[in-house]
């Protein structure tokens, strides 16, 4: 079962993934991003790193599945619930949509007729190339553009309610 986070193997032994991770962390500190995209390779760091305590995100998108393709449906569902709980615990300010009221068709031409995939989209038929990522994640990006303004409004409303509560506290204290 893959609910427990495991450190990914560096199969190429070139330190590429750690180098990319460190670059993204550095950029996150510098630019204060609103959205974090993570995959199942980063879940290990979600559990075992304090980086999540130092950077705040408003919206987190995670993709799982490529490293746990042999799991049962129940195991995959348990994994998703565990990851959602970890994200909620580590990034309390982040927006986490857990409902099933929206379906995103992320195919966008990735799978061609006769159930084939172009090497331009997946060089090894397992890992996406830039072109493949664009096809798969453009619908997610469009949803983010729609959702981020709503999140900002919700956060403003929460802040406003919190301020109202703070203003009420001294009054109720004096009563």
Out of 3.80.10.10, 3.40.50.140, 3.40.50.1110, 3.40.50.720, which CATH number does the structure's domain 1-98 have? 3.40.50.1110
Q: List phi, psi (to 5°) of 113.
A: -55, 150
- pLDDT tier, 103 (very low <50, low <70, confident <90, very high otherwise): low
* pLDDT tens by residue, 7-38: 566 777 887 777 877 787 777 777 766 777 66
* pLDDT tens by residue, 33-75: 677 766 655 666 667 777 677 777 777 777 666 666 778 888 8
As a whole number of angstroms, the distance between CA 130 and CA 135 comes to 9
DSSP 107-151: -TTSEETTTEE-TTTBTTSSSB-HHHHHHHHHHHHHHHHHHHHHH
DSSP letter (8 states) at residue 158: H
Least confident of 127-131, 142-146, 155-159: 155-159
What per-residue confidence (pLDDT) applies to 156?
Answer: 56
Burial grade of 60 (CB within 10 A; 0-12, 13-18, 19 or more): buried
Compute the Cα dihedral for 57, 87, 93, 161 and give only its sign: positive
Q: Which of 159, 113, 144 is nearest to 35 (CA)?
A: 144
- Domains of the chain, by residue range, sit at 1-98, 103-175
Place of tokens 């560096």: 10
Q: List phi, psi (to 5°) of 112.
A: -90, 175
Reported as type and span, the H/E element at residue 88 is helix 73-90
At 64, list the tokens.
């799982």
**Secondary structure of residue 60 in the 3-state scheme:** strand
């Amino acid at each position: 079962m893959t609910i427990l986070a495991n450190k990914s193997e560096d199969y190429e032994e070139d330190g590429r993934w750690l180098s990319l991770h460190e670059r993204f962390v550095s950029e996150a500190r510098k630019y204060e991003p609103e959205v974090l995209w993570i995959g199942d390779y980063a879940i290990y760091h979600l559990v075992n790193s304090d980086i999540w305590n130092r950077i705040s995100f408003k919206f987190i998108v995670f993709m799982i599945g490529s490293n746990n393709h042999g799991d049962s449906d129940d195991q995959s569902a348990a994994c998703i619930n565990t990851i959602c709980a970890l994200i909620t615990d580590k990034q309390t300010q982040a927006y986490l949509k857990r409902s099933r009221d929206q379906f995103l068709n992320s195919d966008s031409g990735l799978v061609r007729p006769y159930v084939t995939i172009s090497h331009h989209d997946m060089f090894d038929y397992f890992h996406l190339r830039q072109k493949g990522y664009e096809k798969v994640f453009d619908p997610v990006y469009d949803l983010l553009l729609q959702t981020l303004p709503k999140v900002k409004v919700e956060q403003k409303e929460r802040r406003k309610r919190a301020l109202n509560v703070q203003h009420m506290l001294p009054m109720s204290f004096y009563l």
